[in-house]
Amino acid sequence: ARLKAEEERKSLGQKRQDTALLETYSNENEIDLKRDRDLQVIDLQIEQLTGALKNTTQRYNEAKSRADAMEKSKQPVAAAVNEEVARLGTEKQRFEQSIAAKNKEKDELRARYAEYRKRFAELKAQQVTASSKK
């Protein structure tokens, strides 16, 4: 009984998704347009993160150069310089991880819209078949 209830719940959820899909889009091109708009948003975010990463990398390299110069001249490296190198290194790593996460999000988005497109085509084909049988 529990298995049957679970199957009914899944079936009801799928019906709801199918209805939403058919009511939201009138053709497959609309699905592609929505996907492209969503990808543009993520691309813009990646572009902003890449700019911030570039800036942070530059500041990190400058701080690291100062620390290396102090070490080379046998001077003790100031705690503030070491802290700055560590902070910027962490910040740089955070931006790199964010960019990787956004790229993964793009891949997942493409896959999700490919599934929408495939399901939409199946549903439209079922509608055509049902119409031709009448």
Convert 47-69 to b/e letters by CB count within 10 Å (16 or more is b).
Answer: eebeebbeebbebbeebeeebee
Kindly report the pTM of this predicted structure.
Answer: 0.81
Indicate the range of 48-52, 56-60, 121-125 predicted with least confidence.
Answer: 121-125
Query: Tell me, what's the pLDDT at 134?
Result: 65
78-119 pLDDT, tens per residue? 899 999 999 999 999 999 999 999 999 999 999 999 999 999
Phi, psi of 114, deg, nearest 5: -65, -40
**Mean pLDDT value of segment 45-73:** 96
pLDDT of residue 14 exceeding 70: yes
Report CA Rg, the chain.
26
Cβ count within 10 A of residue 132: 7
pLDDT of residue 50 exceeding 90: yes
Query: Tell me, what's the pLDDT at 128?
Result: 84
pLDDT of residue 32 exceeding 70: yes
